[in-house]
Amino acid sequence: MTIIATLLFEHSQLDIHISEIFYTNGHWLLEKGTQPFAFIFYDLPKLLLILLGIYLITILILRHKQNSDINLVIKNTKYDKLLTPLSTREISYLLLVLIAVPSMIALLKGVTHVSCPNHLILFGGDLPYLNIGKI
């Protein structure tokens, strides 16, 4: 699916056509940093991911302490299931994905030199549009 999507976007320039919908008369429909859209689409999701990561780390620490210290064992399984219905392994996988996906995206953005539409000459920026074959 990834290869098909890449070929579709690269050879049809579908990404440029979609960007043109949001760029009219020399301005973006939503300017970068405009509130409340910057908060809704950028700041809030980032904050929620960070809070979810902190929550998952806290749960892992509490479970580790529970298993190592007999005095901290919670006898009430209802409380433990309310805390999180996931197993320790599932929480670890989720935490690993929460760290790996943004890191991989940042790494790939740096390595592939793919520019955001607002940086392209087509849309008032200073970089030329390069497809994968030209990079």
Tokens 């592939």 locate to 112
Predicted confidence (pLDDT) at residue 77 exceeds the cutoff of 60: no
In one-letter notation, the amino acid at residue 111 is: V
Q: pLDDT band at 103, cuts 50/70/90? A: very high
Instruction: Write the pLDDT tens digit of every residue in 12-58.
Output: 778 888 888 888 888 888 777 778 888 988 899 999 999 999 999 98
Q: How many C-beta atoms surround the C-beta of residue 117 within 10 A? A: 18
Q: Is the pLDDT of residue 5 over 60?
A: yes
pLDDT of residue 22: 86
118 closest CA partner among 36, 44, 41, 16: 16
For residue 72, pLDDT over 80 is answered with no
